[in-house]
Amino acid sequence: MSSENKILDFKNQQFYVGIDVHKKSWSVTIRSGGITLKTYSSNPSPEELNEYMRKQYPGGSYNSVYEAGFSGYWTHRRLEQLGFKNIVISPNEVPTNGKEKQYKTDSIDSRKLAREQ
């Protein structure tokens, strides 16, 4: 009985990553094809995010976004160096519905960012 090695390849597939950045952790949401694939908490590290994306979704095109704030633009520059198409957005430019305003959490914020790219 032979087993074939299946190699994941997400070539030409777009992934949208919303990042709610904080000093000690990030809330990250990954979407593709209009579907939320995963929301998780991560160390605040562009390298760790890059490693995760390349391992789970190799060959994909990675688009990321986070809100401008305390962290400045070092994250943006590093994500761009790692091959992400990243944007930094003003918090008041992200469309938010009433429920998201009422129940504001880091994971809701990252899902909202990933959805609205």
DSSP 72-95: TTHHHHHHHHTT-EEEEE-GGGS-
For residue range 10-52, list pLDDT tens digits in order. Answer: 999 999 999 999 999 999 999 999 999 999 999 999 999 999 9
Q: What is the pLDDT of residue 75?
A: 96
Query: What predicted TM-score, i.e. pTM, was given to this entire model?
Result: 0.88
pLDDT reading at 70 higher than 90: no
Mean pLDDT of 84-101: 84
Which pair of tokens denotes residue 16? 């949208």
- Is 28 within a domain? yes
- Is 110 within a domain? yes
Q: Residue 90 belongs to what domain range? A: 14-115
Strand pairing partners for 87?
65
CATH number of the domain enclosing 48: 3.30.420.40
CB 66 within 8 A of CB 19: yes
pLDDT band at 71 (very low <50, low <70, confident <90, very high): confident
